[in-house]
Structure 1
Amino acid sequence: MTEWSEATDVLVEAADQLLEAARSGKPCSPVRQALPVRTAETGYAVQEINTRRALHEGRRLVGRKIGLTSQAVQRQLGVDQPDFGMLFADMAYPDGLPIPTERFLQPRAEAEIALVLKADLVGGPFTVADVIRAVDFALPAIEIVDSRIAGWDITLVDTIADNASSGAFVLGNTPVDLRGLDLRLAGMTMTRGGQEASTGLGASCLGHPLNAAVWLANALGAKDFPLLAGDVVLTGALGPVVPVEAGDVFEAHFEGVGSVRAVFA
């Protein structure tokens, strides 16, 4: 067996571990323990294995999520840039309708601004002007992050391999044009059961949600899965994440962008 094939076997085993945790509902040990090289590139290689498996099974890719947009979280994991994960159609839930809590292992909710594209972002490098021209509209969003790794015991390679700790997402139903909208100053308040649970500003997301979108476009532009027209981009949390329990009702309000609700059955 060659060195290359041995490395590939290790990546497949890590992908299998995460997939089994998702299917069984039982969190697994950190995948870093099985990986001889613990880099972002290794994490994305594991993530891509499960992405291709999902597509082969008929799941539909509808966008991307950006994670690690908070400087505090980046410092915690010892990194200086965000990460990304894949969004599939079966991860989307309607605004205000019940979300089955049992589909998650260790869910947490975070409020962020979503961008929906009207043009492809293939190639690059891209500027903020390129990304603005490619955006059709913005929507308020609540992302449900989740970890297949027990106790959220994650490093950078763990969360990337685990599809950037993606779980599900809820989008608001009223699209907003970017023209005349300053997302950097957009204030966000998220409540749980009517009580304030998280607050933040657009500036909390890499200084501006569009900065995160430009980073993503450049990260993906020359790869196998670039951003395409119709894709949803979850640009990153504007405030602290909040643990989710069955029966919780979250509502996030964004200045100038609107509101969205996530209701957990």
Structure 2
Amino acid sequence: MAAQQWDVESVAAELLACEDERRDRVKFTDEWPELDVATGYEIQDLTLAKRLERGEKLIGVKLGLTSRAKQQRMGVDTPFVAWLTDAMILPAGDPVPQDALIHPRIEPELVFVMGERLEGPGVTGAQAMAAVAAVHGGAEVIDSRYKDFKFAAGDVIADNASSGAFVTGGLGLAPSEVDLSLEAVLVEVDGEVVDSATGAAVQGHPGEALALAANDLATRGHAIEAGWVVLTGGMTDAVFAPPGSSVACHFSNLGSVFISGGTKGDA
């Protein structure tokens, strides 16, 4: 039987099928070594178009692998930008949607709500922060369509930087009210603290991650729009979120975010 010949269209279709069917697979670069960063973004934009065609709404962007801890774990050395749609929102208090995800993990995030449009190139961290209306604590429930979260850069970019779901904490502060480089988080799993970090883990300051996103998107003809949500990247390594587990992210000034692993029957 001939090996599958992959291209942008077929990889986009396969990734969405894996997501819909809760099915993981080996990374595409094993079969298509030419899947590089630029091609990964082509696939990512095509999957976004397909999401919008089926009724999802674009609401923001997320950064992936902005912390050294995440880069080292995943064996890559640069952050990625990906899309957020309204289908990825996890309402506060809802459990991890186990029946919709393959192998979810949870990581704490500093989340921006944009007050103004932010368009690169050349955006600085200070300019990026001036466009932010509010900052929240939050958490992303990452997932991957690849077995064991094993992928190369092109693979993970194509896979929308391991998007799954995200929850935003209810407390929002103006950026001037909190020193984001010093904002700390403690991550608890089943009542035990397993990790901690500060905002400095995210590119030195999450505003730098926001600037990176704006400048990266500009190379692809996009901007960060007013009203959008921006997930600035995991502050710590991600923790597993199996059914029956309980994860809490306690921020020093931005409140706490609690996520139950739920049960296998959660839709």
Same fold (TM over 0.5): yes
Structure 2 counterpart of 1:90: 87
Give the C-alpha shift of residue 19 in structure 1: 1.4
1:112 aligned counterpart, secondary structure: strand
Give the C-alpha shift of residue 76 in structure 1: 5.8
Query: Identity over the aligned pairs, expressed in percent?
Result: 33
Out of 170, 178, 181, the position equivalent to 1:181 is 178
1:251 aligned counterpart, secondary structure: strand
2:100 paired with 1:107: no
2:80 paired with 1:48: no
Q: Distance in 2 between matches of 1:209 and 1:26?
A: 33
Structure 2 counterpart of 1:209: 206
Larger mean Cα displacement after TM superposition, 118-127 or 53-62: 118-127
Give the C-alpha shift of residue 12 in structure 1: 1.1
Give the C-alpha shift of residue 100 in structure 1: 2.1
Out of 54, 58, 61, the position equivalent to 1:57 is 54
Larger proportion of helix: 1
Matches within 5 A, 1:64-83: 64-75=61-72, 79-83=76-80
2:255 paired with 1:249: no
2:33 paired with 1:23: no
Larger mean Cα displacement after TM superposition, 174-183 or 131-140: 174-183
Give the C-alpha shift of residue 198 in structure 1: 2.1
Q: Distance in 2 between matches of 1:262 and 1:98?
A: 6
Q: Distance in 2 between matches of 1:190 and 1:80?
A: 24
Q: Verify the 8 A CA contact 2:61 2:231 in the aligned structure 1.
A: yes
Superposition TM-score, scaled by structure 1 size: 0.91
Give the C-alpha shift of residue 223 in structure 1: 3.1
Larger mean Cα displacement after TM superposition, 14-23 or 95-104: 95-104
2:157 paired with 1:121: no
Q: How many equivalent residue pairs?
A: 258
- Gaps of at least 5 residues in structure 1 are 1-6
Q: Distance in 2 between matches of 1:145 and 1:169?
A: 8
Larger mean Cα displacement after TM superposition, 68-77 or 197-206: 68-77
Q: Distance in 2 between matches of 1:172 and 1:76?
A: 26
Question: Do the aligned partners of residues 154 and 94 (structure 1) sit closer, same or farther apart at CA in structure 2, a change above 3 Å counting?
Answer: same
Give the C-alpha shift of residue 123 in structure 1: 4.1
Give the C-alpha shift of residue 74 in structure 1: 3.2
1:120 aligned counterpart, secondary structure: coil
Give the C-alpha shift of residue 11 in structure 1: 1.3
Superposition TM-score, scaled by structure 2 size: 0.90
Structure 1 counterpart of 2:138: 141
Q: Verify the 8 A CA contact 2:96 2:241 in the aligned structure 1.
A: no
Question: Do the aligned partners of residues 244 and 75 (structure 1) sit closer, same or farther apart at CA in structure 2, a change above 3 Å counting?
Answer: closer
- Gaps of at least 5 residues in structure 2 are 263-267
Q: Verify the 8 A CA contact 2:196 2:236 in the aligned structure 1.
A: yes
RMSD (Å), alpha carbons: 1.8
Q: Verify the 8 A CA contact 1:28 1:150 in the aligned structure 2.
A: yes
